[in-house]
Structure 1
Amino acid sequence: MATNLTIRDAAEADLPAIVEIYNHSIASRTANANRDPVSVESRREWFYAHSPERRPLWVAVEGERVIGWIGLADFLPRYAYHITAELSLYVAPDRQQQGLGAVLMERLIAACPGIGVENLISLIFAKNAGSIRLHEKMGFDRWGYMPQVTELDDIRRDVVIMGRCVRSPA
C-alpha cells in the first residue's frame, strides 16, 4: 500500500470520482447489479443518505485522486434491522488486487461498534471469486446463497450473502 494513502469521510466534491469507479464496476458485469451507468446527479440522494455517525461513506485518496470507496447502507428499512448494515466496496480498476480493499474493510470493521453496527452483510455475485476471497480473508462467512435471483444481459446469476458479526465483546 502506498504511504500517501488517506482514508476520510467522502465529500460531495468526491462524488464524480465515486461514480466513475462505480460505473466501471457496472461495465465489468462482475461486481454490480446495475445495467446502465449512473450519473452524479442520480447518486446525490444516495450520497446524502450516508452519515459519519451511523452509515459512513469513506474514500481512499492517494495524492489528490480517489482510488476507492467503502460505505454502509441500511440492510433493511425496518427498525429491528438497525444493527445490521450492508457493505459496499469499490476500488479503481488500476488499484484492484493491491490490498486496498482489505485496508478499507479493516478500518470499517473496527469502526462498526462505535456506530452501532453489530453485523455486516455483503451481497456478491457467486462468480466474483475475488470479492468472496477478500470477504473470507476479512472474517466473513457465507450466510446465504440465492440461486438465479438476478438477471443481467439475459444471464441469470447466483448471489452469495457474506456476513460478519462485528459487535464489541460484552
Structure 2
Amino acid sequence: MDVTLRTATMSDLPLIVDIYNQTIPSHQVTADLKPVTVDQRRPWFLAHSANHYPLWVVQADDQVVGWMSFSPFYGRAAYAKTAEISIYLDRSVQGQGVGSQVLTLIPTQMTTVGLTTLVAYIFSSNLPSIKLFKKFGFEQWGFLPAVAELDQRPNDLVILGRHF
C-alpha cells in the first residue's frame, strides 16, 4: 500500500475527526477523554496553513486513511521553525507500515514549509508510536512524569524531537 499526502480541505474535516475519535477509547494516544465534534475542531483546522503549519490527509488507493499535521510548538517568534507533529491513522490501516511511509515523507515536507525541527508528544504507554518515531531518528528530548491521568491512572509524557 503506497501512501501520499495532500493538503486537507474543509470537506475532509469530518473524516479527520472520525479518525481522531477512534483513538480516544484506548487512552493511549490523545489526552482527550471524550469524542470531539467537527464544530469543536473547526478552529483547530483553520489555524493550519499550507505554507507553514500544514494539515494533510494521508491517502492510500485514493482513500483517506489518516492525517498528519505540523502545529506551532510554542507561540513565540523564536520558535517559528519548530513544530509539533501529529499523525493519526484509521484503525483499518494501523500496523501495516503506513506510519513508516508517512514519516519517510517528512524531510521533503519540512523544507517546503520552512521548518527545521519537529517535536512529538507521546504517552509513555504508547510504545508502538515511540518505536516508530525512534526508527526515523527522533530522540527523547524530554520526559514529564505523571502529567496525565487516563483511566484513573497517571501517565507520563515522552517528548521526542529531531532536527532536519
TM-score with structure 2 setting the length: 0.95
CA distance in 1, matches of 2:107, 2:34: 30
CA RMSD of aligned residues (A): 1.2
Q: Extract unaligned runs of 5+ from structure 1.
A: none
Q: Percent identity?
A: 41
CA contact (8 A) 1:85 1:121 kept: yes
Letter in 2 for 1:10: A
How many residue pairs match? The answer is 164
Matching residue of 1:71: 69
CA contact (8 A) 1:143 1:162 kept: yes
Map of 1:29 onto structure 2? 27
Pick the aligned partner of 1:126 from 121, 124, 127: 124
Whole-Å separation in 1 of the counterparts to 2:83 and 2:159: 13
Distance in 2, matches of 1:37 and 1:86, equals: 22
Instruction: Using the TM superposition, give the Cα deviation of residue 71 of structure 1 relative to its aligned residue in structure 2, in angstroms.
Output: 0.4
- Kindly state the Cα deviation for residue 94 of structure 1 after the two structures are TM-superposed: 1.2
> Do the aligned partners of 1:125 and 1:158 also contact (CA within 8 Å) in 2?
yes
Q: What is the CA-CA distance between 1:114 and the residue it aligns to?
A: 2.8
Distance 2:107 2:122 in 1: 18
- Aligned amino acid, residue 20 of structure 2: Y
Runs (4+) off by over 3 Å: none
Kindly indicate whether the alpha-carbon contact (under 8 Å) linking 1:74 and 1:84 is maintained by their aligned counterparts in 2.
yes
User: How far did residue 113 of structure 1 move?
Assistant: 2.3
Separation (CA, whole Å) in 1 of partners of 2:130 and 2:66: 18
Match of 1:51 in 2: 49
**TM-score between both structures, scaled by the size of structure 1:** 0.92
Which letter does structure 1 place at the counterpart of 2:78? A
Is 1:112 the counterpart of 2:110 in the alignment?
yes
Q: How far has the Cα of 1:64 moved from its partner?
A: 4.7
- The alpha carbon displacement at 1:83 in A equals 1.2
Whether the 8 Å contact between 1:70 and 1:88 is mirrored in structure 2 is yes
Which residue is equivalent to 2:40? 42
Match of 1:102 in 2: 100
Q: Determine the C-alpha separation between the residues in 2 that align with 1:106 and 1:95.
A: 17
Q: Partner of 2:157 in structure 1?
A: 159
Which residue identity does 1:141 align to in structure 2? E
- Preserved CA contact (<8 Å) 1:70 1:105: no
